[in-house]
A and B are shown apart, each in its own frame.
Chain A
Amino acid sequence: MKSCSEIIELLSLYIDNELDNETKNEIDEHIKTCEICKSELDALKEIVGALGSFEEVELPSGFREELHEKLMAEKNKNELKSKTVPFKKKFVGFSSSIAAGLIMVFVAGSLIMTRGLFGNAPKDSSGVSMSLNRDKISGTALNDNSQSDEYGNENNYQVETSFNGHDISMKARQYDGGSDAVGEEGTKEFADNSINSTAPAPEDASTYGITVAGIPIYDVYITINSSDIEKEIDNINNIAISCNIEIEVKMEKSAPEYDAVSSPKENKKVLSFDMDSTKYNDFVNKLKEKYGNNLSLDEETNGEGTMKKVEITVLKE
């Protein structure tokens, strides 16, 4: 037989029907005769009954909508964060191709020195061209067309330094006074000229003009998050035009790796292009004017200051 205190300890489980039959029967028997335990049970039942009768309250109005907004904001925040990962990879890749390019320039530079010494050194005119070439290598005389006159016969040939196929080579061309004499055509032309004008110097004693863009080129990314992407692209294009920037879009997509998780309503595009650093500030200022607080800017400059990763995010209004 259980004592009253033992019985009282079990009443909670008794109410919840969590006791085995034997114990349950024992309690049933006990409370038939024990008033104290009976009233204890009644009191507990009353409380539990009262608790059980509490009505379920409805969700506050607008609860789901408010939550939806918060969830979407969180999602967008995460996507922006994760977007910088492939972005950084690209940046590093780009930097290393720049490094490769610099090495090539260096090798080519020593080549000129060597050629100059063995081939053109005995000639007075070639001495001039050699120093000019050095100027070009250091990137200070990029747009100075007058120097090409000193070569005579338009012997300003260019060797394109290809940065592992990156578009920067195209930019290098652009900054070289807009000269069109590039690539094979130029080389051919040069070969003819060299035979005509510098007879003692055979083909391999040619003078190379190396063109390197000394003006830093910024790699600009613009993430547009807007309900009307086309309109924003137009707007940004107009701003670019007003700054004399030609947006050469390399990639224009909504980042497919995120499509799987984004809802169909998601409206996002990434514009990516290179930009001449001298025009960058003007461009950004105009963007700021247009978008104000909806614009977020994330800049990252590489060690030499010749490269800049710029991420501009135009947020939904």
Chain B
Amino acid sequence: MNYCEKELIGKAKQGDVEAFEKLIEGCQKKVFNIAFRMLGNFDDASELSQEVFLKAYKSIKNFKGDSLFNTWIYKVTTNACLDEIRKRKNKKVVSLDEDIEIGGNEMKRQIKDDSPGPELTAEDNELKRAVKDSINMLSEEYRTVIVLRDIQGFSYEEISGIIKCPEGTVKSRINRARQALKKILQQKKELINEEYVK
């Protein structure tokens, strides 16, 4: 931790908003992007990021300095995302199941609803779109490491700090998450092929 960051943290702990804003300047975009990829929705990500920073401002007194400030804030972010995903799951479980039973079209619509926005059209690559849709179908544990490692490009060590797991666990979880993603994509492909056959 450099001196400047330490000083800013000290000030922020006393409630200095300006210092806090300087502190988060470097990670704001990343926090928003993590939330966006985890939740798959622009507006939800915006709202959640605001909450994350407000929460961080309120609880910076508890920040011990045993990790980098950014690592701490990414941890707050992923935890907030996981809470949000779990909350949604409790609400949406029925409708999701129904849609899947009704058929491919319905499921497609459901997933599309979860990730709208102009940025989707920008990434028009078919595989990319399929991968993106599949992320939302991963368990939150796998989704977290996929977002952190493959989309945000954090190192194993950094991820270990963010999700508070030993590096060995991070390694095997990333491996399993990628496998799971591959499986989902394969199933999708098969589903599309079946449609063509019909």
Contacts and interface: CB of A to CB of B under 8 A. Distances in A.
Interface in B6-55: 11, 14-18, 20-21, 28-29, 32-33, 36-37, 42, 46, 49-50, 53-54
Chain A facing B: main interface SS: helix
A52 B17 contact: no
A50 B128 contact: yes
A72 B15 CA distance: 9
Contact of A54 (B29, B57, B128): B128
B21 A54 contact: no
A43 B32 CA distance: 29
Nearest to A13: B171
Given A51-B131, A63-B49, A71 B32 contact: no
Among A12, A46, A66, A70, the one with the most B-chain Cβ atoms within 10 Å of its Cβ is: A12
B151 A52 contact: yes
Contacts of A59: 28-29, 32
B150 interface: yes
Interface string B104-116: 0000000000000
Interface of A: 9, 11-13, 16, 18, 43-44, 46-48, 50-60, 63-64, 66-68, 70-72, 74-75, 78-79, 260-261, 263
A46 B130 CA distance: 12
Contact of B15 (A52, A60, A78): A78
A67 B53 contact: yes
B123 A18 contact: no
B156 A16 contact: yes
Contacts of B131: 47, 50-51
Contacts of A44: 178, 182
A54 B153 CA distance: 11
23 contacts: A18-B171, A44-B178, A47-B181, A47-B185, A51-B146, A54-B37, A54-B123, A54-B132, A56-B33, A57-B42, A59-B28, A63-B32, A64-B21, A67-B54, A68-B17, A71-B17, A71-B20, A71-B53, A75-B15, A75-B17, A78-B15, A263-B16, A263-B17
A9 B122 contact: no
Interface string B161-180: 00000000001001100110
Among A9, A11, A54, A72, the one with the most B-chain Cβ atoms within 10 Å of its Cβ is: A54
Interface of B: 11, 14-18, 20-21, 28-29, 32-33, 36-37, 42, 46, 49-50, 53-54, 57-58, 119, 122-123, 125, 127-128, 131-132, 146, 149-151, 153, 156, 171, 174-175, 178-179, 181-182, 185
Contacts of B127: 46, 50
B29 A58 contact: yes
Given A54-B132, A54-B151, A63-B28, A261 B14 contact: yes
Contacts of B123: 53-55
A50 B125 CA distance: 9
Contacts of A9: 175
